[in-house]
Structure formats: structure tokens, C-alpha cells
């Protein structure tokens, strides 16, 4: 409960001055979450409540249930294991004044060990890639309920990853807007084991192939061959058999790129596309 407790404390310390409610969507936890939420000291200040989202798998299902149970006209998403910065909600709401949805940014230095923080790097710019449209990620994301309803919420075909990117892309293809809020910062907790990192980034890789199978008809392009070649070369040269003292790549970063590449291969097979 330490992680969600840290996040709830951060939410109760927001400088946002408007009314808010916090809905925790429980996607089948077995660690006593319901009792913890029921007796949490910030229950009144946050209008905190828990909803059962265990009837379906995945974050997309849980978030859809949470949105359906909420009462606000603007929905801000964050994850239980991260920590929002004090002005996060104010920044998200401010950026949403002239847009349909908003994506924030993440930092890893304040919540992870110095070693783990080197495994993945984030620039603070808008999420997105050169091959298609920008997107937001659901650990720091906001959307007006009307826009959420217009795109029918999160697509439940994305079980382990990718549902946030899919929603953002569908929203923009429907003619709506996605803003960038560089001041909406979340301390993003990375997986701190090689196995956990591999599993997470492999899921990301599978999801990117799934996304490509859906959005290639709208103009999404494959990763440039030179980038694929550079990745393969780096994975070969800096593999875990190379002594750490002469390897410039942090060991955890190797697992990030290797897991993602394997996931893309698996996703390409599963969704019958070529996306590496």
C-alpha cells in the first residue's frame, strides 16, 4: 500500500483550488485495498472512493469503470504507483481550457534510485514519434468527459498496454485536439528489476505492433530501418555478457530495448503485420 498511499498524499497536497473527487478503480487487487481506502485519512478532503473494476482485464477496462462512476465533466488520470507534483492538476486543467484532451510529462529522478533512473530517459517534450501523431500517457493525462464519450472511452482490445495511445490517436483522427502541458509533471516509478523491465517493455512492443495494425491505414509508418539497425547493433555490442566496466550502456537500458524489440516481433506475428 506504500505506493498508492504516496500518490494519495500527493493528490491531497495539490494546489488546485477547484472541487475534485478521486475515484480508485480496483482491477482485481488482493492486498486489502478496499479496507485501506475506506479508512484513509484523506477520504473527505479528496472525496475518495473505490469502485470495483474486477470484471474485466486491463487498465483500459478499469479506467472506463472509473470514469463511469465519476461525476465531473473533466477527467484527470494518474497511476497508483507514481507521485504527482504539487501543481500537476492545476497545469492539466489550465491546458485543457482550449483543448479536448491534455498530456503531461514525467520525470524519473525523484522517485527511483539513481541507477534505475538511467534505464529509461524522458525529455519533457510531448509524447509521440516521428511515424505518426502525438499522444499522452495515462499516468499524466486529462480529457473532457464529452470527448471521452465521443470516442467511446478506452478500447478494451488493448489489455496490457497501448490503450492510451489508441485513445489519443482516435481522438485526433475524429477532429479533436490534444494539448501538451509541460508543467503537469508526474514522478514516474520505473520497474526496478531486469525481469520487470523486460516484461513491461515487451508488452509495450506488442502493443506498438497492435497499434500499427490499426493505424497504418491512417498513415502510421514503421520504424525507420536505420533506427532498427542501430538498435540491433547496440543490443549486440552491449549485451549482458559484456563486462559492465567496459559497457557504456546501463544494464537495465539493455533490457528496455531488448524487451521492446522482442515484443514488436511477437506483436508482428500476433497481429499479422511487419512492425519492428
| Whether residue 41 has pLDDT greater than 70 | yes
DSSP 267: H
Cβ–Cβ under 8 Å, residues 119 and 130 = no
Torsion of CA 255, 261, 263, 264, to 10 degrees: 160
Instruction: Give the CA angle between residues 138, 108, 180 to the nearest 5°.
Output: 45
Q: How far is 188 from 88, CA to CA, in rounded Å?
A: 13
C-alpha distances in angstroms, 78 versus 11, 101, 210? 10, 14, 24
Asked whether residue 50 carries a pLDDT value surpassing 80, the answer given is: yes
Per DSSP, the residues of 229-254 read: HHHHHHHHHT-TTS-GGG--S-HHHH
pLDDT score, position 235: 93
> What does the pLDDT look like over 66-104, one tens digit per residue?
999 999 999 999 999 999 999 999 999 999 999 999 999
Least confident of 92-106, 169-183, 218-232, 253-267: 218-232
The reported pTM is 0.95
**Which of 138-142, 155-159, 212-216, 221-225 is predicted with the least confidence, judged by mean pLDDT?**
221-225
* Residue (of 78, 95, 98) closest to 10 by Cα position: 78
Query: Where residue 265 falls among pLDDT bands split at 50, 70, 90?
Result: very high
Portions of the chain given CATH number 3.90.550.10: 2-187
Angle 104-166-157 (CA atoms, 0-180°, nearest 5)? 130
CA 98, CA 116: separation in Å to the nearest integer? 37
Q: What does the alpha-carbon distance between residue 203 and residue 197 come to, in Å, rounded to a whole number? A: 10
The residue among 147, 154, 155 whose CA lies nearest residue 171 is 147
| Rounded Cα gap, residues 181 and 271, in angstroms | 33
Residues 189-206 have pLDDT tens digits of 999 999 999 999 999 999
Mean pLDDT, to the nearest integer, of 230-242? 91
CA 97 remoteness from chain centre: 22
Q: How many beta carbons lie within 10 A of that of residue 245, not counting itself?
A: 5
Which CATH architecture fits 2-187?
Alpha-Beta Complex (3.90)
Amino acid at each position: 500500500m506504500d505506493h498508492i498511499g504516496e500518490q494519495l498524499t500527493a493528490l491531497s497536497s495539490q494546489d488546485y483550488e477547484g472541487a475534485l473527487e478521486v475515484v480508485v478503480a480496483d482491477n482485481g487487487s488482493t492486498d486489502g485495498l478496499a479496507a485501506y481506502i475506506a479508512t484513509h485519512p484523506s477520504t473527505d478532503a479528496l472525496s475518495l472512493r473505490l469502485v470495483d473494476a474486477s470484471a474485466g482485464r486491463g487498465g483500459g477496462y478499469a479506467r472506463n469503470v472509473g470514469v463511469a462512476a465519476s461525476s465531473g465533466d473533466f477527467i484527470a488520470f494518474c497511476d497508483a504507483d507514481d507521485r504527482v507534483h504539487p501543481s500537476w492538476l492545476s497545469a492539466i486543467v489550465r491546458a485543457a481550457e482550449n483543448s479536448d484532451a491534455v498530456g503531461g510529462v514525467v520525470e524519473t529522478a525523484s522517485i527511483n534510485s539513481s541507477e534505475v533512473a538511467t534505464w529509461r530517459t524522458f525529455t519533457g517534450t510531448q509524447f509521440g514519434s516521428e511515424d505518426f501523431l502525438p499522444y499522452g500517457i495515462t499516468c499524466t493525462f486529462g480529457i473532457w468527459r464529452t470527448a471521452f464519450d465521443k470516442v467511446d472511452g478506452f478500447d478494451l482490445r488493448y489489455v496490457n498496454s497501448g490503450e492510451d495511445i489508441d485513445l489519443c490517436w482516435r481522438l485526433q483522427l475524429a477532429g479533436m485536439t490534444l494539448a501538451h502541458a509541460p508543467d503537469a509533471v508526474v514522478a514516474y516509478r520505473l520497474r526496478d528489476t531486469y525481469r520487470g523491465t523486460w516484461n513491461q517493455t515487451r508488452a509495450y512492443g506488442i502493443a506498438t505492433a497492435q497499434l500499427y495494425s490499426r493505424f497504418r491505414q491512417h498513415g502510421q509508418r514503421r520504424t525507420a530501418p536505420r533506427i532498427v539497425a542501430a538498435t540491433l547493433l547496440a543490443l549486440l555490442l552491449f549485451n549482458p555478457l559484456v563486462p559492465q566496466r567496459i559497457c557504456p550502456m546501463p544494464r537495465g537500458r539493455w533490457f528496455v530495448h531488448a524487451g521492446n524489440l522482442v515484443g514488436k516481433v511477437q506483436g508482428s506475428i500476433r497481429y499479422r503485420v511487419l512492425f519492428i
